[in-house]
Structure 1
């Protein structure tokens, strides 16, 4: 959850590293026939979809070619990757290694013998090399300071990103360049305004002879508050003793180890343990925390970005962060409250860019659920009276105004969002002894029923974001008894769920490359469970619990854990969405599902014989009896693990009973 990431850059989807074009339907089309890189960039999304914002700023390229060849991509060989470290060899013979700290990146390049090796820093780089994928700086400045030091600022998407860099290259020359031409004797470049059509690349270069095996270290400190703070960040994390690569790598590796150690599992197959550890790693990459770095307010304190988006993470990832890194969860909420103060509303998604109202089509008022959870847990550090002010005000914004006046809004899924947010806000208001406000909010929270058609037991016809009325109809509401009654009772509700999950139905043919509109329309018309990658479907398997069929939950979840996740390429059933999907895997493997905003977990059979979460100074242990391991095939992969069912459960020795 640090501020800085670094990655090999090809310009392809999904993060700038890869081989594919961006697409939303069918099998992705190949953009490159090989793994390749034109350099190494900073700031990437993590498993997000087509949001047209992928950063990839400040590209660093080690070269033995002339500057004219900048932008050319070379094949990658001998890749290695682990938490906080990446290495590969370019086809040019340069061995490349990268590590990061919270606000810094350190590159180490080992060159072959060459009379004119160089390290080129491109400050104009941004986005992806696909249609509508580029990000161009609006303003920029770069300065060569001599003695292997340089700095610069680029304004991207309304945010000033500053970098201060040091290059250990004794005897090498350094200079600025513009439009792939060196500026001899120049020490500063200034661009007051840049348009897409007039952009010419620019940056810094360090050049000189290299003997075989010579290493060049590039250290970059970043800040959203100017070059001087970027320099301080670099000094703080890299220190004065150089080189710094191994030291920063060790620090980052230790931080990752301490975080990944907060959830331990025992038993299970090697493949399942590998997927579990990888899922936990993915769950802890985002959001990015850039403490004391907000470009919008001058005070110190937490600032978080890459909340991409609440719609993706509020049901699964944020409860996981609340459990194992509660300090960061509180800081995220504090940052969201500050964003609300500055920009007028709680964001659904928040990137390193201005505009908290982006992604508003996805959902409404999702921050309220996480705030209600944090308040129920008694997490310290938030001014709850001030938080309540913003929670109440936010309920009237955007679609909330129509909800207040009419009790129903379209897209109809926003009616469910707003009703649930009213319920969550009512809990906080009641705890703060504002009974009149709580009663008013609770009354409006019952408007969820206005979203449903009592004749079908499903949502009313409407527009839906990445789904349909079947996907959204099985949401875990705050009054599931009334919801099931509206659907016609337990049996009718179960029948609809069975149809949604395809029990007894023929297998569905998956779309291939470039599916036709008719083929996709026929697939959507099935009104079937689309997989865990579809956010409205993440919680749907647990709806069976409320109608007395947790065995169905067990069957669906066990099948998903077994067949939708794996250890190789394609091991995720779609976009990871900043860790939301991987967090689902973590919870499901533990045999739990958090019902966010209701201070409740639903229990299912765990995938491991024993699990333990370190929660603050305490430990939450999940132990099973009668657990059966899955058989392993000759390839080491699980083979048809048996569906197992919870017969009874106790908490601290006392039987668990369902809430009334």
Structure 2
């Protein structure tokens, strides 16, 4: 539930050096990383989401309170899963760790006659234009002897914190507007506005000899100060230093989670990126069990679902495979949100509002629910879940889809058709044939989104993309979709154009590195504050965006449905080789709560989940051996003939050749198809792949299933 990080107030997410931006290269606010303290609750790799938490800032100081908010350069930073440390330019060594619902800070001071730890409960958001989160109401109470508590209402959520500060002999005071309140024990603010907000909080102050260590323990709750205190006492005990204990416990939990995907082989850089990607994939969503501020019942409360548009294709299937209990908790929480607020959320933060982010997509939770039901995941009440799945299909854009079979933005037509298909699967499995037939009939309306003359989507508005980006999504009826494009050869030609094969611009060195295989033609990247014309010129290329956004993350695997898995291998290999690295900027776009990193994990394993359809597509992996710890034991992928190839981070001067699958077996039986069922992965087994440097006939004669395969005569309607 809790995250903690150094706070600069800049983008991204409050730890960074930049102004907030949505296009092009961000503008720097300052030259070096710096911090004005350490805050709690952060987004993870999201774009311009506008509100970034950063609540309850804790600042160790040797300066007067008047200087609160000044930022000091960070030196000697170090980080590992569950731990962060840095030295402020003031000489204070700062360490932070977190537990499930707690954060523990440890500060080692230089010699000072007036050292202090300042807790600012008014902090929130980013310290840039339109980035601030202003509390609505607040109360703070100083209870003496290193104990305090407070509740701050932000975006409709009452965030409570209970503090213990291990600082014997230090004074403890409240402060408001950077002025100490002598003798005061309580502050109450009934209504705070942007124009009336003045900082407020707590201060602990005293002398410090060189090397003096102060420990600050914070328990959080969304259900009041009493539960915040209980959370703190349960994880940290009632008194005494606990930093090392909490850090070890959290490190152990991370070690367990990160060991659920293990790889052998690969260069050091590739292994580092893989481990980082797995870590990023498991940071979000956040779970505050028994902490929902919106309903009184116990159970999981999931937030930082930022957003389903980002995570439903790759990240949620990864959670289902290696942390199925948490995946089930996520779905249970989403059902409860729908019950309480009337919509399955596309995005859901620690704030009421399931209808936010609705422009991104529609009915995306339905894919995860369909997969979970097919896998028998969790103890969900499926008849109740089906009620909400059906009702949600009729909300927002769904009403027009129900009446007309077509909505704009046109991508929502695809979403809603797919949502109907996924809901029909659950209804049929539960024995409601009439409902399933009705839903499946509407699911065929995906064809209304396409222009038959071009084989592409109709002209419309598009969220962060264009018609080409969205035109190659993996649908439930890929056989009919390919027929609509003019057949397999025409579909492959369209994909080749999208991915830059046969580009008219000569291939050459770009940006100091060799070109990736399959990406022909120099493309100029936008700079600072790009004009609308510059961005329009880039989009007009109608090229694959290179994983820096969600609409076409699954597009490389569309080749599988046209019998060309070799093309998938070339594109994915190029992306894994050149678009990811170990340094700053080592991702080709926003990580978006782990959605992009989950793509990297699956692509490196040689598998890709088709969300909502209960299957994986098979491709050449990036490692000689990999093992996923699943409920059924282990699912192992072994690749004979695999070569360890460098990635862009190694600074190599050549493009490594693509490796292709030449033959495959699953649990000892020949595998002629390019797909396997998700249930086969989840119950454990062995997938053996023979790789080679040239394409083969493997996978050319079989196609992954489409719903029209099961209809009389096949084909589209």
Distance in 2 of aligned mates of 1:510 and 1:95:
40
Deviations for 1:590-644, whole angstroms, at most 9, x for unmatched residues?
Answer: 0000000001111000000000000025100001111122158995769533201
Residue 582 of structure 2 contacts residue 649 of structure 2 at CA under 8 Å; is this kept in 1? no
1:551 matches 2:566: yes
CA-to-aligned-CA distance 1:135-178 (integer Å, 9 cap, x gap): 01000000000000000000000000000000000000001000
Partners of 1:498 and 1:106 in 2: CA distance: 53
Q: How does 1:547-586 map to 2 (within 5 A)?
A: 547-586=562-601
Q: Which residue is equivalent to 1:646?
A: 661
Tell me how far 1:241 sits from its aligned partner. 5.3
**8 Å CA contact retained: 2:82, 2:250:** yes
Residue 310 of structure 1 aligns with which residue?
A: 308
1:106 equivalent in structure 2: 104
Q: Is the 8 A contact 1:143 1:151 kept in 2?
A: yes
**How high is the TM-score relative to the length of structure 2?**
0.91
Which residue of 85, 88, 91 maps to 1:87? 85
In structure 2, the partner of 1:606 is: 621
Distance 1:334 1:560 in 2: 35
Measure the CA separation in 2 of the matches of 1:240 and 1:288: 26
After superposition, where does 1:54-65 map in structure 2 within 5 Å? 54-65=52-63
Instruction: Report SS of the residue matched to 1:206.
Output: strand
Residues 428/508 of structure 1: CA separation in 2 closer, same or farther (3 Å cut): same
The answer on whether the counterparts of 2:269 and 2:650 sit within 8 Å (CA) in structure 1 is no
Deviations 1:446-486 (A, max 9, x none): 00000000000000000010001000000100000000000
Q: What's the CA shift for 1:240?
A: 3.3
Match of 1:536 in 2: 551
Cα distance in 2 between the residues matched to 1:269 and 1:193: 57
Match of 2:641 among 601, 626, 637: 626
1:441-520 aligned at under 5 Å gives the runs 441-505=439-503, 506-520=521-535
Cα deviation, residue 520, structure 1: 1.4
Partner residue, 1:370? 368
Cα distance in 1, alignment partners of residues 647 and 494 from structure 2: 35
SS in 2 for 1:196: coil
Q: Is the 8 A contact 1:632 1:639 kept in 2?
A: no
Q: Report SS of the residue matched to 1:439.
A: helix
Q: Call closer, same or farther: CA 1:453–1:352 in 2, change over 3 Å.
A: same
Q: How many equivalent residue pairs? A: 658
Q: In the TM superposition, what are the counterparts of 1:139-288 in structure 2 within 5 Å?
A: 139-240=137-238, 242-288=240-286
Moved over 3 A (4+): 631-639, 657-660
SS in structure 1 opposite 2:16? coil
Distance 1:13 1:631 in 2: 31
Q: Any idea what the Cα deviations from partners look like across 1:522-571, whole Å, max 9, x if unmatched? A: 11111111121210110000011111111111110000001000000110
Alpha-carbon distance change, 631 to 343 in structure 1, aligned in 2, over 3 angstroms: closer
Q: Distance in 2 between matches of 1:46 and 1:346?
A: 22
Give the distance between the partners of 1:446 and 1:588, measured in 2 at CA. Answer: 30
For residue 158 of structure 2, give the secondary structure of its aligned residue in structure 1. Answer: strand
Give unmatched runs, 5+ long, in structure 2: 504-520, 674-703, 706-717
Are the aligned partners of 1:304 and 1:332 in contact in 2 as well (CA < 8 Å)?
yes
Instruction: Indicate the larger mover: 515-524 or 75-84.
Output: 515-524
* In 1: Cα distance, 2:541 partner to 2:270 partner: 31
Instruction: Give the distance between the partners of 2:535 and 2:411, measured in 1 at CA.
Output: 22
Conserved? CA contact 2:549–2:590, under 8 Å: no
- Please say which of residues 569-578 and 625-634 is displaced more in the overlay: 625-634
Alpha carbons of structure 1 residues 21 and 395: separation in structure 2 relative to 1, 3 Å: same
Question: What secondary structure sits across from 1:197 in the alignment?
Answer: coil
Structure 1 residue 25: Cα displacement = 1.4
Question: 1-side partners of 2:127 and 2:290: how far apart?
Answer: 32
SS at the partner of 1:528?
coil
Partner of 2:518: none
Q: Does the CA-based 8 Å contact 2:86-2:93 persist in structure 1?
A: yes
Residue 647 of structure 1: how far off its partner (Å): 1.3
- Cα gap change, 1:105 to 1:63, in 2 (>3 Å): same
For the residues of structure 2 that align with 1:32 and 1:218, how far apart are their CA atoms? 29
Root-mean-square deviation (CA, aligned residues, Å) is 1.2
Q: CA deviation at 1:315?
A: 0.2
Moved more, 235-244 or 220-229: 235-244
Question: Secondary structure of the equivalent of 2:661?
Answer: coil
Contact map agreement 1:629 1:641 (CA 8 A) in 2: no
Structure 1 residues 638 and 427, CA, compared in 2 at 3 Å: closer, same or farther? farther
Distance 1:633 1:158 in 2: 45
Call closer, same or farther: CA 1:410–1:58 in 2, change over 3 Å: same
SS of the residue 1:49 aligns to: coil
1:514 Cα deviation from its structure 2 partner: 2.5
Residues 628, 431 of structure 1: CA spacing in aligned structure 2 closer, same or farther, 3 A cutoff?
Answer: same
Preserved contact between residue 633 and residue 639 of structure 1 (Cα < 8 Å): no
- Partner SS state of residue 243, structure 1: coil
The unaligned stretches of length 5 or more in structure 1 are none
Tell me how far 1:15 sits from its aligned partner. 1.2
What secondary structure, in the 3-state scheme, does the structure 2 residue paired with 1:300 have? coil
Secondary structure of the 2:113 match is: strand
> Contact 1:266–1:610 at 8 Å: present in 2 too?
yes
Q: Which moved more, 1:448-457 or 1:637-646?
A: 637-646
Q: State whether structure 2 residue 320 is matched by structure 1 residue 347.
A: no
Pair 1:592 & 2:590 matched: no
User: What does residue 358 of structure 1 align with?
Assistant: 356
CA deviation map 1:4-24 (0-9, x unaligned): 000000000011011011111
Q: For the residues of structure 2 that align with 1:492 and 1:146, how far apart are their CA atoms?
A: 75
Instruction: Give the Cα separation in 2 of the matches to 1:167 and 1:200.
Output: 24
TM-score, normalised to structure 1, is 0.98
Distance 1:507 1:375 in 2: 46
* 2:577/2:647 contact within 8 Å kept: no
